[in-house]
């Protein structure tokens, strides 16, 4: 078993002072061990075991486990839209070994309401916080998920029903539909538009074959982060997970070719509000080019949120897509009253986010938030000692995108305005944009005659 030491993301200190003052007899410090270690098993499974300090009393402590699966919506062929998302939900919910099948709500209850499944375009994340006392049993269950899942019709039905219950309505539903249409142009899928779902066409046998073939150690990474003794955990990992058959690596789906332009306007579900959005493809995580997002995104969010708009960038689901959206026709102050005004608001936001002087607050904010996910900074102790999830997320992001912390940190903010200008010149240009408009049924058609991207 080869051991790969991951560059340290969280500075653990055993010195006295602030940390020593905070840690009382109810808090837990893990035994001395390497700060972060990646284990690559002979079957191809990569596992990071990361013991960190917790300031919480034992009854409230949690260990975050993330199972990262190298498959997503791009792996779904035509006629199988939603297959990867359905599979990502079946894996933790179906019967696995001695653990009985459970509903989504039962799964949530078992993890304190903080479990989640992030089914993205190219990857799926299964996030599960567990008590340190249940960690070894959970490792046994993780092993049972590989090849020991028992999928029955009731499991498929429950998950389909849960999907239906999660569909948002009103303004949030409009945002989901508009963002989906922009993603269809910026990152088109082989299976068709994102609002198309073929779940009713997917048989139990087909899902069994897909999971049995694709959910294999060679296509998976697991991260375990929290307050625990690493010795027994590493032993359990070797004993339970190293014996699994590795499987065959999935064929990487082709790189999607974007189709810039404007999507056709459509009617809003909300009778009083409309929406304008514009999106682009942006640099890949782990690159120096992507560092400029650390300034652009927070600035754009501050500007747009005044009028109930926002800047959407999700490093887990769609990391190479950025979308700005602005609500329109609302009755509140700062909200645009026409499509043209909303377009101007987005234009002004871009200009501000690119051209405004970079100040100390920009750097400080980035160091504590987006700069961490971009790979330039580490998770702060005051965060990680309460919640290990951010450390687990960044551990995976750095591994997936081969981030070089020293290089990224040295270049973050260096000639920041020039980096922002290069982002605009190379990526945020009109000819590469995709735009869209939602108009309430009560608004006259002439108000929606001009769409962002067609000006």
* Predicted pLDDT of residue 33: 41
pTM (predicted TM-score)? 0.89
What whole-number distance in Å separates Cα of residue 432 and Cα of residue 74?
A: 21
Residue 152 burial class via C-beta count within 10 angstroms: exposed 0-12, middle 13-18, buried 19 and up: exposed
Reported as a pLDDT band with limits 50, 70 and 90, residue 445 is very low
In sequence order, what are the residues at sequence separation of 6 or more whose Cβ sits closer than 8 angstroms to the Cβ of residue 385? 22, 52, 53, 54, 55
- Residue whose pair of structure tokens reads 């493809």 in the numeric block: 281
Reported as a pLDDT band with limits 50, 70 and 90, residue 198 is confident
147-160 average pLDDT score: 94
Integer angstrom CA distances of residue 295 from 99, 314, 363, 422, 437: 46, 15, 8, 13, 27
Three-state DSSP class for residue 287 = coil
Q: Give domain limits for the chain.
A: 2-241, 261-377+412-448
In the structure encoding, which two tokens stand for residue 384, read together?
């990680």
Vertex 320 angle, CA 163 and 343, to 5°: 90
CB atoms within 10 A of CB 410: 12
259-304 confidence digits (pLDDT tens): 999 999 988 888 888 999 999 999 999 999 999 999 999 999 999 9
9-35 confidence digits (pLDDT tens): 333 333 333 333 333 334 444 443 445
* Predicted pLDDT of residue 443: 65
Three-state DSSP class for residue 298 = helix
Q: Residues 94, 149: contact at Cβ < 8 Å?
A: yes
Q: Is the pLDDT of residue 448 over 50?
A: no
Cα dihedral sign, 82-84-85-86: positive
According to the 3-state scheme, what is the secondary structure of 355-424? HCCCCHHHHHHHHHCHHHHCCCCCCCHHHHCCCCHHHHHHHHHHHHCCCCHHHHHHHCCCCHHHHHHHHH
Could you say which architecture CATH assigns to the domain 261-377+412-448? Answer: 2-Layer Sandwich (3.30)
**Pairing relation of β-strands 46-51 and 220-226?**
parallel
Matching fold, domains 2-241 and 261-377+412-448: yes
Cα dihedral sign, 168-172-178-183: negative
Integer angstrom CA distances of residue 275 from 281, 297, 326, 334: 20, 19, 6, 14
Return the percent helix, strand and coil in the chain, to nearest 5: 40, 20, 40
**Pairing relation of β-strands 266-267 and 220-226?**
unpaired
CB atoms within 10 A of CB 126: 22
Q: Which CATH number fits domain 2-241: 1.10.10.60, 3.30.390.30, 1.10.3720.10, 3.30.830.10?
A: 3.30.830.10
């Amino acid at each position: 078993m080869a051991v790969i030491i991951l560059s340290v993301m969280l500075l653990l200190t055993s010195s006295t002072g602030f940390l020593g003052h905070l840690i009382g007899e109810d808090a837990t410090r893990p035994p001395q061990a390497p700060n972060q270690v990646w284990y690559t098993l002979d079957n191809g499974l990569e596992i990071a075991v990361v013991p960190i300090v917790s300031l919480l009393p034992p009854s409230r402590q949690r260990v975050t486990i993330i199972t990262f699966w190298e498959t997503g919506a791009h792996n779904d062929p035509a006629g199988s839209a939603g297959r990867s998302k359905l599979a990502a939900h079946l894996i933790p919910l179906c019967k696995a070994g001695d653990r009985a099948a459970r509903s989504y709500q039962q799964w949530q209850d078992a993890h304190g309401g903080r479990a989640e499944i992030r089914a993205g375009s190219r990857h799926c994340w299964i996030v599960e916080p567990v008590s340190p006392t249940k960690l070894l049993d959970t490792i046994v269950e993780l092993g049972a998920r590989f090849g020991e899942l028992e999928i029955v019709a009731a499991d498929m039905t429950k998950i389909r029903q849960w999907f239906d219950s999660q569909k948002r309505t009103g303004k949030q539903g409009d945002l989901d539909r508009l963002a989906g249409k922009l993603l269809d142009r910026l990152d088109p899928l082989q299976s068709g538009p994102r609002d198309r779902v073929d779940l009713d066409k997917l048989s139990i046998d087909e899902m069994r074959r897909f999971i049995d073939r694709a959910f294999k150690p060679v296509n998976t990474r697991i991260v375990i982060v929290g307050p625990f003794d690493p010795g027994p955990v590493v032993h359990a990992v070797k004993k339970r997970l190293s014996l699994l058959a590795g499987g065959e690596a999935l064929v990487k789906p082709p790189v999607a070719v974007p189709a810039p332009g404007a999507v056709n306007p459509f009617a809003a579900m909300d009778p009083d509000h409309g929406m304008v959005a514009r999106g682009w493809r942006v640099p890949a995580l782990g690159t120096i080019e992507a560092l400029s997002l650390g300034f652009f995104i927070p600035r754009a969010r501050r500007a747009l949120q005044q009028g109930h708009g926002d800047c959407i960038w999700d490093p887990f689901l769609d990391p190479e897509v950025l979308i700005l959206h602005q609500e329109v026709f609302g009755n509140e102050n700062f909200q645009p009253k026409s499509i043209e005004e909303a377009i101007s608001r987005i234009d002004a936001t871009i200009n501000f986010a690119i051209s405004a002087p970079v100040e100390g607050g920009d750097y400080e904010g980035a160091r504590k938030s987006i700069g961490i996910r971009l790979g330039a900074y580490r998770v702060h102790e005051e965060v990680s000692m309460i919640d290990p999830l951010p450390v687990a997320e960044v551990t995976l992001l750095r591994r997936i995108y081969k981030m070089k912390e020293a290089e990224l940190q040295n270049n973050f903010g260096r000639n920041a305005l020039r980096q922002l200008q290069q982002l605009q010149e190379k990526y945020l240009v009109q000819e590469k944009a995709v735009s869209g408009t939602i108009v309430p049924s009560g608004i006259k058609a002439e108000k929606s005659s001009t769409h962002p991207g067609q000006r």
